[in-house]
Amino acid sequence: MTMILQSDPKASYLAHQAAIDAALQETLASGWYILGQQVQTFEQEFAAYLGAANCIGVANGTDALVLALRACNVGAGDWVITVAHTAVATVAAIELTGAIPLLVDIDPVTFTIDPVQTEEAIRLHAGKVKAIIAVHLYGHPAAMTTLLEIAQRYDIKLIEDCAQAHGAQFQNRAVGGWADIAAFSFYPTKNLGALGDGGAVVTNDAALAERVRLLREYGWRERYISEITGMNSRLDELQAAVLRVKLRALAEENARRRHLASLYDAALANTSLVLPQTWPDVLHVFHQYVVRCERRDELRAALRQQGIGSLVHYPVAIHQQPAYRNRIPVYRDSLPNTEVVASQVLSLPMYPQLTDEQIAMIADVVQRSLQDFAD
């Protein structure tokens, strides 16, 4: 029995294999492997795709967040508000700068940061909060207009974590261009994925962009002369060549994801599952198709028995994980929405190369499994 994976970066590679192979050969033949023409061109093309002024390629998504924070002068002792229902990289990046994460709850419908709690937390910790990181989780943007108003009202920086939202839009404007600065990951399973690690920082602020360029390579403007203390975080030429090829198909593949999501929606509408919801002014890119199920683990086991892979993003909220439990601040000491969601979410297979027939088969297994639970 062939396993249907929850995500499949190999399928993405095979869909673009000839063009990727040609781009890699061209790059290898150039003899230039670090911060060359491929990176520069990708930076220009990705910025243009997003409608943003500046894109700076870096080594991975975690570094992109670290560099975005550092460019905003976030450092030791500063507080940064974000969520506990996210990849741990979001919180790890804050701590890598020496700053302190302050975790607030999520909206239970979109799973993105709760703006009301965000503002309450800023007021409660007056003078400590330096930035907000809004995570566009699963491909659905956070409430950017409200968050932007809050950030401006309190004169703090707003940073977008766009690792799961390449091409998503809020009010007809791409994520990555709303806040002061944004971070992207190009991990192979992302909507725009490389053949390894990669990331980018995006901003419309020329001064922030210049600071990120310095920070990503030891603070160099002139080689071997460090103007500021930087780090080594560079997107390499081979990954940039791959990303340039795959960027050309991103809009089409995101549209395919939305089509597959609509098939799931129709097939699962009358089940006990809580299905993903999309705000009217949002263009969702369905990095994941995430349902809520009270008997999540049983459903996942039933899918596995039928050769269908699924994942839980994320099974343990960050504030409940051993490395962070009872160590980092949690607004109101508990995050009820986050904790309920973490116990119920399940990511069904979602990638552009899935067929309509495969979605129908997966949905049928889900329906039959849920009925078995009810009998």
Whether the Cβ atoms of residue 355 and residue 323 lie closer than 8 Å to each other: no
What's the pLDDT score for residue 278? Answer: 97
DSSP single-letter state for residue 141: -
Q: Is position 203 within any domain? A: yes
The residue to which tokens 């119920």 are assigned: 344
The residue from 200, 224, 247 where one domain ends is: 247
Q: Report the relative pairing of strands 173-174 and 225-226 from DSSP bridges.
A: unpaired
Task: Report if residue 3 sits inside a domain.
Answer: no
Specify if 131 maps to a domain. Answer: yes
CATH number for the domain spanning 48: value is 3.40.640.10
One domain for residues 154 and 269:
no
- The verdict on 185 and 220 lying in the same domain is yes
Same domain, residue pair 144 and 37: yes
In this prediction, residue 375 carries a pLDDT of 78
CA distance 230 to 190: 27
Count of the separate structural domains present in the chain = 2
Would you say residue 1 lies in a domain?
Answer: no
Quote the longest CA-to-CA distance of the chain. Answer: 71
37 with 134, same domain? yes
Number of CB atoms found within 10 A of residue 219's CB: 16
pLDDT, residue 114, reads 98
Domain end call among 226, 247, 268 = 247
- What letter would DSSP give residue 271? S
pLDDT in tens, the chain (375 residues): 579 999 999 999 999 999 999 999 999 999 999 999 999 999 999 999 999 999 999 999 999 999 999 999 999 999 999 999 999 999 999 999 999 999 999 999 999 999 999 999 999 998 999 999 999 999 999 999 999 999 999 999 999 999 999 999 999 999 999 999 999 999 999 999 999 999 999 999 999 999 999 999 999 999 999 999 999 999 999 999 999 999 999 999 999 999 999 999 999 999 999 999 999 999 999 999 999 999 999 999 999 999 999 999 999 999 999 999 999 999 999 999 999 999 999 999 999 999 999 999 999 999 999 999 987
* C-alpha span between 358 and 364 (Å, rounded): 10
Instruction: Clarify whether residues 165 and 192 are in a common domain.
Output: yes
Q: Which of 247, 280, 307 is the last residue of a domain?
A: 247
Q: What is the pLDDT of residues 315-354, one digit of tens each?
A: 999 999 999 999 999 999 999 999 999 999 999 999 999 9
Domain membership of residue 294 (yes or no) is: yes
- 142 and 267 inside one domain: no
Domain identity same for 117 and 212: yes
Give the DSSP H or E segment for 29.
helix 17-30
Q: Are residues 256 and 243 in the same domain?
A: no
Identify the domain containing residue 370 by its residue range. Answer: 251-374
Q: Which residue has the tokens 């007056």?
A: 126
Reported as half-sphere exposure (CB side, CA atoms, 13 A), residue 331 has a value of 30
* Residue 2, domain member (yes or no): no
- Considering the domain architecture, whether residues 232 and 255 belong to the same structural domain is answered as no
Q: Which one, of 182, 165, 157, 174, lies nearest residue 112 by Cα?
A: 165
Q: Are residues 166 and 71 in the same domain?
A: yes
CATH number at residue 342: 3.90.1150.10
For residues 207 and 273, membership in a common domain is answered with no
pTM (2 d.p.): 0.97
Same domain, 200 and 58: yes
